[in-house]
């Protein structure tokens, strides 16, 4: 975990030191009046290293802070234990030091809603989450059913192709995820399945869970089992465990799909497809709106392919070099159709 003030070097702290630091902050906040600087805390529900969407959020907020006078932003890593996030965010709110807390994760809206009842003056900007009606909270939710759908259409195109790592006589694709959670089970996974079935109704769809967001060995074990049983391509959404999936694919000449950011450079020729969300843009634009006093707290925005918030990353040399033109053209048509609302996809499916 670290605190990072813009323009200053990064300082790493152990958990006991951080706890003492936050306690001292609470004490001092009761003895002094906050100055006229607009202060933003960027709470990372995990760590930034190896987490591109978290890094993009932090970078977007820091860039927004640089655009305005008397605005400072600090980045606080919350670690992998979700059970600790509530107390850590609560400590930030209780300090009274922050005009805005920016964070991202589908679990954070409920956590922040509970905190806002105790500290109603604290404002929250939450990306990749959904909650409306709370005057202290603004959320922006990516239409992850659409994102999963685009990954699914591409996975099906690959398994049914003549690419060297695919066996079109035995259509099989897979997903490996860090953990199950509502948006995974009601948006991403059903979206992926709909995309696969749109292209290859007979394809087999495998689903495996690592159990955490960091165990690369477990990720490799699960991926190896799937590849050895005939799965050609795996969509991996498993944090640090993604590296294990990539390693297993490289050993076997199979394929991986990336999620949320362009992952082609991770393993060119192995990572052959990526969906992405505009996390940097969201953090930058929405933070500026909050600073300027125009962000509509209490509302919940849905970000979709239609408005360019979600896409399938096509403008990449590794993608063009690895994937045959015919497949790229077909995937492009699926993307353009989705922008026009075809097929119409719900935000969520009923809970499984």
What CATH number did the domain enclosing 23 receive?
3.40.50.2300
Question: Which residues form the domain of 95?
Answer: 2-142
SS3 189: helix
Residue 28 has pLDDT above 60, yes or no: no
Q: CB neighbours (10 Å) of residue 30?
A: 9
Query: 298 lies in a domain?
Result: no
Residue 199 falls within a domain, yes or no?
yes
- Is 131 in the same domain as 227? no
Helix axis angle, 216-228 to 242-252, nearest 10°:
40
Q: What is the pTM of this model?
A: 0.86
Q: Tokens standing for 118? A: 């105790």
How many Å apart are CA 57 and CA 127, to the nearest integer?
Answer: 9
From 142, 175, 192, the end of a domain falls on: 142
* Same domain membership, residue 19 and residue 51: yes
Helices (H) and strands (E) in the chain, counts: 12, 14
Residues 9 and 132 in one domain: yes
User: Does the residue 284 lie in any domain?
Assistant: no
Residue 318's pLDDT is: 98
**Contact indicator for 138, 296 with CB cutoff of 8 Å:** yes
Structure tokens belonging to residue 207: 């689903």
Residue 45 lies in a domain: yes
Chain segment 125-152, per-residue pLDDT in tens: 999 999 999 999 999 999 999 999 999 9
pLDDT at 18: 53
């Amino acid at each position: 975990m670290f605190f990072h003030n813009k323009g200053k070097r990064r300082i790493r702290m152990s958990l006991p030191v951080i706890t003492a630091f936050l306690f001292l902050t609470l004490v001092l906040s009761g003895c002094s009046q906050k100055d006229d600087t607009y202060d933003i805390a960027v709470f990372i529900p995990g760590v930034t290293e190896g987490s591109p969407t978290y890094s993009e959020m932090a970078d977007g907020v820091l860039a927004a802070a640089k655009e305005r006078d008397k605005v400072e932003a600090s980045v606080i890593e919350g670690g992998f234990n979700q059970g600790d996030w509530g107390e850590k965010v609560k400590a930030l709110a209780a300090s009274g030091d922050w005009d805005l807390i920016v964070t991202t994760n589908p679990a954070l809206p409920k956590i922040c809603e509970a905190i806002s009842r105790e500290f109603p003056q604290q404002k929250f900007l939450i990306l990749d989450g959904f909650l409306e009606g709370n005057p202290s909270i603004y959320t922006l939710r990516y239409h992850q059913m659409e994102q999963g759908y685009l990954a699914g259409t591409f996975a099906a195109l690959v398994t049914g192709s003549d690419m060297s790592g695919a066996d079109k006589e035995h259509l099989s694709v897979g997903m490996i995820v860090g953990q199950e959670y509502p948006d995974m089970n009601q948006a991403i996974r059903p979206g992926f399945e709909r995309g696969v079935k749109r292209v290859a109704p007979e394809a087999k769809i495998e689903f495996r869970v690592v159990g955490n967001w960091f165990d690369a060995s477990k990720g490799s074990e699960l991926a190896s089992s799937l590849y050895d049983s005939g799965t050609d391509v795996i969509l991996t959404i498993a944090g640090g465990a993604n590296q294990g999936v990539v390693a297993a694919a490289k050993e076997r000449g199979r394929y991986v799909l990336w999620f949320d950011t362009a992952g082609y450079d991770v393993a060119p020729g192995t990572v052959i497809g990526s969906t992405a969300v505009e996390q940097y843009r969201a953090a930058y634009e929405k933070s500026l709106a909050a600073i300027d006093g125009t962000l509509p707290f209490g509302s919940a925005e849905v970000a979709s392919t239609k408005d360019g918030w979600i896409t399938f990353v096509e403008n990449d040399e590794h993608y063009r070099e690895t994937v045959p033109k015919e497949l790229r053209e077909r995937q492009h048509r699926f993307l353009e159709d989705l922008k026009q609302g075809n097929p119409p996809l719900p935000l969520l499916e009923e809970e499984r």
